Structure 1
Amino acid sequence: MLKKMNDALGEPAVVTVRGGKDQGTFLTDLGRKLLVEYETNKKLINEAVGDETSWENVGFKLSARNKLPGKVVEVEKNGLVSKLTIEIEPSALTSVVTEEAVEKLDIKPGDRVYAVIKSTEVMVAKAVGEKEVFQKIL
């Protein structure tokens, strides 16, 4: 993996020294710069995720009603999409997202996440005897 990273960068971010008392794996100047950039971006992303106004700037309107905290209990990868099962007490929610999103966010079972519900239409079902009748709410 380190070789792939160094090859992709065109110069080493990490070097390995073998033998002697100074052996080990070390970050190069580039590696240290990348680590600082990563930590800075990670902090900015975490702040943006927690800041509802950032979500609103990209078209989401968040409230306690459409932002549900939960825990990922299953990630099922199926080619271009993945199915996430999120435990939201006392129930569970299933979401289908792109595999790219799962990889970029490094989502795995046990992770604490928010299910953000965004909808342009709502369907309501009501049991009538043995049947469910659906009515679109505008």
Structure 2
Amino acid sequence: MTVEISVLATPKAVPELRHLLGHHGYDVRLCASELLTNVIDHLGEGTPVTVRVTGTGTGRTRVEVTDPVPRVLPVLVPSAATTTESGRGLALLDALALRWGVEQHADRKTVWCELEEELPHGPVQEPTTPARISR
């Protein structure tokens, strides 16, 4: 099954994207959020993007974010300083993903990553017994 979402890259769109991908695992949602945030940070708010999440059929899930600016490529910063406020998104993606890369075309680029396939999350189950808090 493929999920495809077209959205304008804005800070408000990041939590909305996570919500729309709610039936996917945490790593899928985190990687999609990081890739969308990179578009906001490096191309600017309002950039149109397409987010795709696809099962590869080989036990992996592929997350793709396509934007219309092929000349601005993501750069993995080997070790962002602990005092910097940014620069860790691709390092996080690199740590979570089995592999990642960029497909460059004349009028767009797609940044993608592949993760181990996670079981879809169903509705939250209520506990069968009441939770107790010990003091």
- TM-score, with structure 2 as normaliser: 0.20
Structure with larger RCO (C-alpha < 8 A, sep 6+)? 2
- TM-score, with structure 1 as normaliser: 0.20
Greater C-alpha Rg: 1
